[in-house]
């Protein structure tokens, strides 16, 4: 029975926990309080109350209530052209500061590259670092047939627990063997194996002693097998195996001339190391790594190599604390070698091992990158096998959380030839990992953002924002946030021209307060940018045409105080001047003249850069 990391595994059954900001629904409806009911209905239409996650509306759905007259006019056709005119006016926008303290969580202009990297690691690590995987921590050997021929002679032997206890404590090696084999069979049941019962019977000390019986390899095998299955259980059971002194004898069995005995010792050590950093380090300190690496050769059966690779991955796992530098340096050359093995399971566990080693500080990432694994990892990101694609993508995603130089090495290896395609992968978990990796690339310097644009990532990114799974959309929002706050003026124009504003505005209705705040900050930043070049009016018209004003105003009534204040700040600063200036959206029959004015203004105030062609506006 495999034990899995349950914390947000890539492909577990979805389990939604109640959001912290949820409020109870309104159930009081009285025919005698018509006006009060109307008022509550209006509030609901403006999303004053958040909904439980289990009832989250689709991200692309419109908020409650009919659109305003002016919004309906835009929806009849001229709003897309207005988008073109308003966006083109953003050319030559000056460098701006982030509008809110929260945007300091992102990398942005005004900070040097190293500071921006540190800021992301220090503040955004909780979201940006992946903390979940689906690789088995422990594995139980439930094989029905023993590889030893003696199984045929004893297959009909069925002993009670008391007979097993008596036999294990006997002095006759054959009785010890039969009793140990019977215990192993009990522990190998597919359902409800009596692991604790065997431990409580006090058999572990004798099983550990049998590991040292070099004259009786069959007994060694059965004892190692039984201990393997006990160690596959809870931490309490694994501790019983460790406290029984099993680690050192198991390490010594790695040099056994009998391959089946050696392989079973590898398996047992893998289960012990997979329990946590304490026992992992105990295995490392027992000098297991050199013995394991010696076993890796082209002559061993692939099933044996799979167990070795899995055990090595468990020796790389866990980061509180990380495995020692010495241990990592010992394993990396062999892991690089295994990365080229044709077997999918070997590749999968090797990639998981590398993902654990890169899930940390820049120094840890550098140790892996310096081996030259990136080109091969990028190749594996195109694998059709999910168990290979997932950990290779995770490893690359971890690498781009490192320094700008480490991210550049990943870009040079060709990750941007693969990541945009993965945004359209049939599995939403792969889309999420790809969007997460892209968000960290977007958190880099402007040349990295330019490479994102050049690889054609914006269309699939916008598509994810429009209709992707919500978890994927959240990562895409992070990508846009980093892009917006770190890009140049021209890059910002291309982002908004790609159509990012409309899905962002639609996402203002979601119950995730953190993401709503990020989107509000993005909108505030864009409005502030437009104000700097005296084009705030045009941007306000664009946002209103997309239904943004209604949504922002509705958020002023949000139960989350920070959201309400941010929405109020945006409204008062950027959308209250219409009454003072008398500015209104053009009527439907005046829309074309208004657009013509915007287009002429843009053409007269901008000049295409030398060597480039004017940017084409979206339809």
How far apart are the C-alpha atoms of 557 and 597, rounded to whole Å?
Answer: 36
pLDDT confidence of 135, banded at 50, 70, 90?
A: low
DSSP state of 4: E
What integer pLDDT is reported at residue 525 of this predicted model?
A: 82
Q: How would you class 473 by CB atoms within 10 Å of its CB: exposed for 0-12, middle for 13-18, buried for 19 or more?
A: buried
Summarize the confidence of residues 292-305 as an average pLDDT.
95
Q: Which two tokens stand for residue 403?
A: 């320094």
**Smallest Cα–Cα separation from 197: which of 151, 223, 162, 145?**
162
Q: Is the pLDDT of residue 123 over 80?
A: no
- The DSSP line for 562-583 is HHHHHHHHHIIIIISHHHHHT-
Q: Is the pLDDT of residue 152 over 80?
A: no
Sorted by sequence, the CB contacts under 8 Å of residue 584 that are 6+ apart come out as 70, 578
pLDDT confidence of 144, banded at 50, 70, 90?
A: low
Cβ–Cβ < 8 Å for 429, 466: no
What integer pLDDT is reported at residue 259 of this predicted model?
A: 96
- 3-class DSSP state for residue 138? strand
Which residue's structure tokens are 């916008």?
A: 462
Cβ–Cβ < 8 Å for 386, 350: no
Cβ–Cβ < 8 Å for 195, 208: no
Q: Which of 78-82, 431-435, 563-567 has the lowest mean pLDDT?
A: 78-82
Cβ–Cβ < 8 Å for 313, 266: no
How far apart are the C-alpha atoms of 289 and 297, rounded to whole Å?
Answer: 15
Sorted by sequence, the CB contacts under 8 Å of residue 484 that are 6+ apart come out as 492, 495, 522, 525, 526
Q: Which two tokens stand for residue 107?
A: 């990398």
Cα 258 from chain centroid (whole Å): 42
Summarize the confidence of residues 206-232 as an average pLDDT.
97
Q: Is the pLDDT of residue 610 over 70?
A: no
How far apart are the C-alpha atoms of 137 and 314, rounded to whole Å?
Answer: 7
| Percent of the chain topping pLDDT 90 | 61
533-574 pLDDT, tens digit each: 777 888 888 899 999 999 999 999 999 999 999 999 999 988
Helix (H) or strand (E) holding 97: none
Alpha helices in 235-297 (DSSP H): 235-243, 247-253, 259-273, 277-285, 288-295
DSSP state of 137: E
Cβ–Cβ < 8 Å for 211, 223: yes
Summarize the confidence of residues 567-595 as an average pLDDT.
58
What integer pLDDT is reported at residue 269 of this predicted model?
A: 98
What integer pLDDT is reported at residue 473 of this predicted model?
A: 97
What integer pLDDT is reported at residue 118 of this predicted model?
A: 47
How far apart are the C-alpha atoms of 467 and 59, rounded to whole Å?
Answer: 7
- The DSSP line for 307-365 is HHHHHHHHHH---TTPPPHHHHHHHHHHHHHHTT-S-HHHHHHHHHHHHHHHSS-HHHH
- 3-class DSSP state for residue 193? coil
Q: Higher-confidence residue: 396 or 59?
A: 396
Q: Which of 84-98, 499-513, 543-557 has the lowest mean pLDDT?
A: 84-98
Q: Which of 38-47, 301-310, 350-359 has the lowest mean pLDDT?
A: 38-47
Summarize the confidence of residues 314-340 as an average pLDDT.
97
Q: Which two tokens stand for residue 319?
A: 């980061």
pLDDT confidence of 243, banded at 50, 70, 90?
A: very high
pLDDT confidence of 590, banded at 50, 70, 90?
A: very low
Q: Is 547 left (phi over 0), alpha (psi -120 to 50) or beta?
A: left
Give the per-residue SS3 of 382-409: CCCCHHHHHHHHHHHHHHCCCCHHHHHH
What integer pLDDT is reported at residue 205 of this predicted model?
A: 98
What integer pLDDT is reported at residue 576 of this predicted model?
A: 78
What integer pLDDT is reported at residue 36 of this predicted model?
A: 41
Q: Which two tokens stand for residue 509?
A: 């209705």
For the beta carbon of residue 547, count every other beta carbon within 10 angstroms.
21
Q: Which of 75-79, 82-86, 487-491 has the lowest mean pLDDT?
A: 75-79
Summarize the confidence of residues 571-593 as an average pLDDT.
54
Q: Which two tokens stand for residue 590?
A: 């005046």
What integer pLDDT is reported at residue 229 of this predicted model?
A: 97
369-416 pLDDT, tens digit each: 999 999 999 999 999 999 999 999 999 999 999 999 999 999 999 999
Q: Higher-confidence residue: 574 or 519?
A: 519
Q: Higher-confidence residue: 534 or 75?
A: 534
Q: How many residues does the chain have?
A: 619
What integer pLDDT is reported at residue 499 of this predicted model?
A: 92
Longest dimension (CA), the chain: 102
Cβ–Cβ < 8 Å for 357, 364: yes
pLDDT confidence of 56, banded at 50, 70, 90?
A: very low
pLDDT confidence of 588, banded at 50, 70, 90?
A: very low
How far apart are the C-alpha atoms of 264 and 253, rounded to whole Å?
Answer: 9
How far apart are the C-alpha atoms of 42 and 25, rounded to whole Å?
Answer: 14
How far apart are the C-alpha atoms of 278 and 238, rounded to whole Å?
Answer: 11
Please give the mean pLDDT across all residues of the chain. 77
Q: Is the pLDDT of residue 27 over 60?
A: no
Q: Higher-confidence residue: 508 or 65?
A: 508
Q: Is the pLDDT of residue 220 over 50?
A: yes
Q: Higher-confidence residue: 12 or 570?
A: 570
344-356 pLDDT, tens digit each: 999 999 999 999 9
pLDDT confidence of 143, banded at 50, 70, 90?
A: low
Summarize the confidence of residues 15-38 as an average pLDDT.
38
Q: Which two tokens stand for residue 608?
A: 């295409």
Q: Is the pLDDT of residue 115 over 90?
A: no
Q: Is the pLDDT of residue 94 over 50?
A: no
């Amino acid at each position: 029975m495999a034990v899995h990391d349950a914390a947000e595994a890539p492909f577990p059954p979805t389990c939604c926990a109640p959001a912290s900001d949820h409020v109870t629904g309104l159930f009081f409806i009285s025919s005698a309080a018509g006006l009060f009911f109307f008022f509550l209905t209006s509030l609901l239409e403006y999303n004053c109350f958040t909904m439980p996650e289990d009832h989250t509306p689709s991200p692309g759905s419109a908020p409650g209530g009919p659109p305003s007259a002016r919004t309906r006019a835009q929806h009849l056709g001229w709003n897309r052209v207005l988008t073109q005119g308003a966006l083109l006016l953003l050319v030559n926008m000056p460098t701006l500061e982030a509008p809110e303290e929260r945007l300091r969580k992102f990398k942005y202009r005004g900070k040097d590259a190293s500071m921006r990297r540190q800021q992301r690691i220090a503040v955004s690590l909780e979201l940006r670092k992946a903390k979940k995987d689906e690789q088995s921590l422990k594995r139980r050997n439930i094989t029905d047939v023993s590889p030893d021929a003696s199984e045929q002679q004893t297959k009909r032997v069925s002993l009670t627990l008391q007979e097993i206890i008596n036999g294990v404590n006997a002095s006759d090696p054959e009785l010890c063997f039969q009793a140990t084999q019977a215990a192993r069979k009990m522990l190998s049941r597919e359902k409800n194996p009596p692991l604790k019962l065997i431990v409580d019977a006090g058999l572990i000390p004798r099983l550990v002693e049998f590991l040292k019986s070099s004259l009786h390899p069959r007994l060694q095998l059965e004892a190692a097998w039984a201990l393997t299955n006990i160690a596959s259980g809870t931490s309490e059971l694994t501790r019983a195996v460790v406290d029984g002194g099993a680690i050192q004898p198991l390490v010594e069995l790695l040099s056994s001339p009998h391959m089946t005995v050696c392989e079973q010792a590898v398996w047992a050590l893998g289960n012990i190391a997979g329990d946590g950093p304490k026992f992992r380090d105990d295995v490392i300190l027992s000098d297991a790594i050199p013995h394991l690496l010696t076993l890796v050769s082209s002559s061993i059966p692939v099933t044996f190599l799979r167990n070795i690779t899995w055990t090595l991955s468990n020796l790389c796992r866990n980061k509180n604390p990380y495995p020692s530098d010495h241990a990592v340096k010992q394993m990396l050359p062999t892991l690089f070698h295994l990365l080229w093995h044709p077997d999918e399971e070997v590749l999968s566990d090797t990639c998981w091992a590398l993902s654990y080693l890169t899930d940390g500080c820049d120094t840890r990432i550098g140790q892996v990158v310096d081996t030259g694994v990136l080109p091969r990892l990028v190749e594996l990101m195109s694998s059709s096998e999910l168990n290979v694609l997932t950990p290779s993508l995770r490893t690359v995603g971890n690498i781009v959380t490192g320094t700008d130089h480490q991210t550049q090495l990943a870009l040079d290896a060709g990750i941007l030839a693969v990541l945009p395609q993965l945004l359209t992968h049939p599995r939403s978990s792969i889309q999420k990992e790809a969007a997460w990796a892209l968000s960290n690339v977007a958190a880099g310097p402007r040349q990295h953002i330019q490479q994102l644009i050049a690889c054609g990532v914006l269309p699939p990114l916008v598509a994810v924002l429009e209709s992707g799974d919500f978890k994927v959309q959240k990562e895409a929002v992070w990508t846009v946030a980093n892009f917006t706050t770190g890009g140049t003026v021209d890059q910002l124009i291309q982002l908004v021209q790609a159509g990012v504003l409309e899905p962002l505005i639609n996402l203002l209705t979601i119950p995730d307060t953190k993401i709503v705040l990020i989107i509000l900050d993005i909108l505030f930043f864009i409005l502030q940018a437009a104000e700097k070049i005296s084009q705030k009016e045009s941007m306000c018209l664009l946002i209103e045409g997309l239904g943004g004003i209604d949504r922002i105003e509705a958020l002023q009534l949000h139960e989350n105080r920070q959201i309400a204040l941010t929405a109020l700040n945006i409204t008062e600063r950027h959308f209250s001047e219409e009454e003072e200036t008398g500015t209104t959206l053009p009527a439907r029959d005046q829309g074309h003249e208004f657009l013509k004015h915007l287009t002429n203004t843009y053409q007269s105030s901008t000049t295409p850069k030398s060597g480039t062609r004017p940017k084409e506006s979206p339809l």
